[in-house]
Structure 1
Amino acid sequence: MTQKEIKQAVNDHPAHKVKLAITDIDGILRGKVVHKDKFMSVLDGGFGFCNVVFGWDAVDTAYDNAKYTGWHTGYPDADAQLDINTFRQIPWEENLPFFLGDFVNESGEGLAVCPRSLLKKVKQEALDAGYVPQFSQEFEWFNFAETPETLKEKSFTNIEPLTPGMFGYSLLRSSLNSPFFNDLFDLLLQFDVPLEGLHTETGPGVYEAAILYGDILEAADRAVLFKTGAKEIAYQHGIMATFMAKPNQQLPGCSGHIHQSLWDSHQQNNLFYDESAENAMSSVMQSYVAGQLHCLPHILPMYAPTINSYKRLVEGAWAPTTLTWGTDNRTTALRVLAGGKKSTRLETRVPGSDVNPYLALAAALASGLYGIKNKLKLDQPKTVGNGYEDDQYGVLPRNLWEASQAMKTSELAEELFGVDFVDHFVRTREWEWRQYAQTVTDWEVKRYFEVI
């Protein structure tokens, strides 16, 4: 649709309001509903949005270590701009018009701490180099027969899974909750978040969805809207969905795998594919993979941003722990899928479902481009067999503090994403670690209360 057609569609809509949203540093949608007249006035000129969304954490507690904003700045408005190309209608809210936006600085350039602006910047670097990045993300997540009220009453203990037992790829289990299952597929399609596939995963009440491939910015928009959309659709059915990386110690965690390839400027040729090369991997793809392996330890918090992320990155739980790559190997950090001209791609398996998609996709593309730009050779042999045992090329940082300190001192991270972004992002991760470190957990009380 053209801008004129979109304006007309909003103007003709029976509702007198429009929903607007941006994404904070944790990947959480923050937004508001505005009158049609207000929407029309800000569509071209932008609008102010309180910059506290980059000054507090996931539970709205103000950072005490942020430089970008805080009590010392008075939490002023930041300049935000709507992206008219993100126009959608929310089918579970009577087709209410919806738009995404991002933040800009005084010069009209992308704000350094804005995740969507960062991805747009990295995407432009790829386009300037002659590469069109095509991406998609897939998510696993747990569903519970609970509501926000029952969770609070139970203090988040003894929560009831949507379905019992372990039953991956089960047509039987999906039929048990077919109204919810079908609404996910059908309503998300109407919301312009098309799913390539949806199925049950191994674990009680666990689903997995793969989102259709596309332009990297559109892929990230779809991923962000998928997570919120799945939660809102779940609400309609009396269900709670969670995208925690590891909700249960006894079960595998939830992934947010990233699939990616680079195409030529006409989008006719997949530049990762070379029929004559070993594993059908072109030299471009080999350098891209080498770049991701090289950069991973420097930027891990962009793939694993929470305390809980690292509970998933453990041996034998379908998540990687080593700096490895392999062909169709689900125990390695990077899984090369060497198919045909259209399907050859890289799957980055490190991210969990708790990621901010804008940051995770930016990290994947930027590190791959780094490998191409610096002509890195994929000298590291592919892992055949158990990637958990192949630790000779390094292992991933073990927790958020360790990963954040590696990023904090990394000149490479600053080269990829800029000093201002790295400084702000690392400060938010250090804050997250401090909140966790000072909390007395149930595990500690049960372990030490009587015997120490």
Structure 2
Amino acid sequence: MIKTSEKDRPGPPAFVLFLCICFVTSYFCCGLELACILILRIGEKISEHLDAINQGDPLTLNKEKIFMTPTTPGMTMISKIKQTIEENDIHFIRFEQADLYGVSRSKTVPVGSFMDYIENGLNFYGGLLGLDIQSMVPEGTGYAEEVAFADHCTVPDLSTFTVLPWVPNTANITVDPYWYDGTPALASPRLLLKKIIDAFDKMGYICRLGYEFEFYVLDRETRKPVYSGQPIFVTLKNNFDIDFTYDLMRKMEQAGVQIITQNSEHGPGQQEINLYYKDGIGAADTAFLYKMGTKEMALQHGYIATWMTKPFIDSSASGSHFHISLIDKETGKNAFNDPDGKYGLSELARNFLAGVLEHAAANTLFTAPTINCYKRYRVNSFAPHTATWGMENRTVGIRLKGTRGESTHFENRLACGGTNPYLLALSTLTAGLEGIRSQPELPAPVEGVAYGRDDLPFLPASLEDAIFEFEKDTALQKMYGPEFVKLVLAVKKFEVETAKKQFEDYGTPDFNNRVDPWEWDYYMELI
């Protein structure tokens, strides 16, 4: 972090002039009361920002560092981007970010305005992170009425610039949200994930992450599955429409999304596509790009691709399994592997795993983030319903894969289809880091089938229960930070209250044993 000198800081006259301009603008746009609130907020944040700069906060926006000037090394990357724009005849660039649900929210910028926004940032409504999936505005997020519905200045991450082969003459770039005083919007899942990855980096480890996604393909008009039955791995169903499946895989490869495998899954119209692992934030960025791109290409072929976890009550639910290992930066070796350690795992791995399990109930708020997700956690479904682990065991929450040695890694099977890729990585890594620090006792692995046992720790049975578990887990809340915790709880409580208004039998066995049309309308298209 480049610290500011005394001469770099805004002096009192400039500061007062800035506040006056803000007050007058806010008064005419929002009225006296909201203008006063906004000025107080700006004053508090500028004070906090200067303190953070002096302390070298790695997430504090510093325009010398974040925005590109002619003397910064980032100009080399900008030159490459300009060349890519010319070579691919790019006319439009999407400035994209993920909301709390992992849904892409964006603005499209004509190429002529691109450099201006690279240099100065692009404004987005700051409350975007605090919206529910249908863009309703919950109260109490800290990002809406408390800040007079202010904008964020979003900062493009140049490393994410990607030509989109499925959209003519278009590229995208991922942005991170900051308040206009320069402080990071720390309810941003991507910013928090970058922060936790940086914590592991400072400990000497690279986070190696991989995603595998199950999803349903439905006819765009009828919303019925594109094929019937339970045809897992059946070749005819793998390629139910080869124009679509091959188009998807080819264009993903062109966009830098490396696919390992594609196949039909256990539900009607259900597919699975697994992504090759990547290190650090790039893995989550790729997963986000893949999900949004798949949705767009499905629409182009007359389909809807949905990661809604349980679209049909009598058919298989969709999961988002997450693979994790830590790599020693100095040696390049797998830090989870220890042939002489208990279970063949290093102490680091055992502590990491113990942390994931200890905080699994609270983190269900992120691995099962919707009302619909809790219809997945059923016995005899190949989905877990307990906070457990085992070796090559598909009935537990965390599976230690059979590939050992340098391939030693955990598979988090707790995550539902509707999971935000950034929050899935964030919650797993945060719990693992807390485990490394606090070293809780690792329970014994489950041997045999975990279903039907009452001696194992069950996962929350509803979103309401997950909220309760999250509110109890103060250690985990401290890791995430108060800004993120406040926003998440406000949005999720709003989601529960929305469901309760729709269903008199919400939370009863009858409700949990059906998928209501309201759930389709609320989740299916966007998730």
TM-score normalized by the length of structure 1 = 0.91
| Bigger helix fraction | 2
Maintained 8 Å contact 2:140/2:487: no
Distance (Å, rounded) in 1 between the aligned partners of 2:404 and 2:77: 35
The superposition leaves residues 249-279 of structure 1 with CA deviations (integer Å, 9 ceiling, x where unpaired) of 1012000011000001146100011122343
Instruction: Give the corresponding residue for 1:15.
Output: 90
1:138 equivalent in alignment to 2:202 = no
Instruction: Give the corresponding residue for 2:63.
Output: none
DSSP-derived class of the 1:19 partner:
strand
Distance (Å, rounded) in 2 between the aligned partners of 1:437 and 1:42: 42
Aligned match of 1:27 in 89, 99, 102? 102
- With over 3 angstroms needed to count, the CA separation of the structure-2 counterparts of 1:92 and 1:302, relative to structure 1, is same
Maintained 8 Å contact 1:46/1:82: yes
1:49 equivalent in alignment to 2:112 = no
Count, aligned residues: 434
Aligned match of 1:161 in 214, 219, 225? 225
Distance (Å, rounded) in 2 between the aligned partners of 1:251 and 1:204: 7
1:422 equivalent in alignment to 2:485 = yes
Question: Aligned-pair distance for 1:13?
Answer: 4.3
DSSP-derived class of the 2:185 partner:
coil
Please give the residue correspondences for 1:265-414 in structure 2 after superposition, counting only pairs within 5 Å.
265-266=329-330, 268-378=332-442, 380-414=443-477
1:116 equivalent in alignment to 2:180 = no
Maintained 8 Å contact 1:292/1:364: yes
DSSP-derived class of the 1:272 partner:
coil
The superposition leaves residues 290-316 of structure 1 with CA deviations (integer Å, 9 ceiling, x where unpaired) of 110111122210111100111111212
Distance (Å, rounded) in 1 between the aligned partners of 2:504 and 2:241: 34
Please give the residue correspondences for 1:74-89 in structure 2 after superposition, counting only pairs within 5 Å.
74-89=148-163
DSSP-derived class of the 2:148 partner:
coil
Maintained 8 Å contact 2:268/2:315: no
- 1:7 alignment partner AA: K
Bigger mean CA deviation after superposition, 116-125 or 55-64: 55-64
DSSP-derived class of the 2:158 partner:
strand
Aligned match of 2:299 in 215, 225, 235? 235
Aligned match of 1:4 in 76, 79, 91? 79
Distance (Å, rounded) in 2 between the aligned partners of 1:181 and 1:368: 36
Instruction: Give the corresponding residue for 2:112.
Output: 37
The superposition leaves residues 51-72 of structure 1 with CA deviations (integer Å, 9 ceiling, x where unpaired) of 23124211111213433213x5
Distance (Å, rounded) in 2 between the aligned partners of 1:277 and 1:408: 35
Distance (Å, rounded) in 2 between the aligned partners of 1:255 and 1:176: 21
TM-score normalized by the length of structure 2 = 0.79
DSSP-derived class of the 1:342 partner:
helix
Distance (Å, rounded) in 1 between the aligned partners of 2:182 and 2:337: 38
- 1:256 alignment partner AA: S
Question: Aligned-pair distance for 1:95?
Answer: 4.7
Provide structure 1 residue ranges, at least 5 long, that are not aligned to the other structure. Answer: 152-158, 448-452
Instruction: Give the corresponding residue for 2:137.
Output: 62
CA RMSD between the two structures: 2.0
Maintained 8 Å contact 1:216/1:361: no
Question: Aligned-pair distance for 1:106?
Answer: 4.8
Distance (Å, rounded) in 1 between the aligned partners of 2:179 and 2:335: 35
- 1:420 alignment partner AA: E
- With over 3 angstroms needed to count, the CA separation of the structure-2 counterparts of 1:181 and 1:283, relative to structure 1, is same
Task: Report the identity percentage.
Answer: 29
- With over 3 angstroms needed to count, the CA separation of the structure-2 counterparts of 1:55 and 1:25, relative to structure 1, is same
Instruction: Give the corresponding residue for 1:224.
Output: 288
Distance (Å, rounded) in 1 between the aligned partners of 2:293 and 2:122: 25
Distance (Å, rounded) in 1 between the aligned partners of 2:346 and 2:403: 12
- With over 3 angstroms needed to count, the CA separation of the structure-2 counterparts of 1:353 and 1:263, relative to structure 1, is same
Distance (Å, rounded) in 1 between the aligned partners of 2:467 and 2:169: 41
Provide structure 2 residue ranges, at least 5 long, that are not aligned to the other structure. Answer: 1-75, 515-527
- 2:200 alignment partner AA: A
Maintained 8 Å contact 1:323/1:391: no
Maintained 8 Å contact 1:135/1:261: yes
Instruction: Give the corresponding residue for 1:155.
Output: none
- With over 3 angstroms needed to count, the CA separation of the structure-2 counterparts of 1:55 and 1:293, relative to structure 1, is closer
- With over 3 angstroms needed to count, the CA separation of the structure-2 counterparts of 1:440 and 1:395, relative to structure 1, is closer
Maintained 8 Å contact 1:134/1:214: yes
Maintained 8 Å contact 1:197/1:210: yes
The superposition leaves residues 374-427 of structure 1 with CA deviations (integer Å, 9 ceiling, x where unpaired) of 23342x111011112344342111100111122123212222201111111011
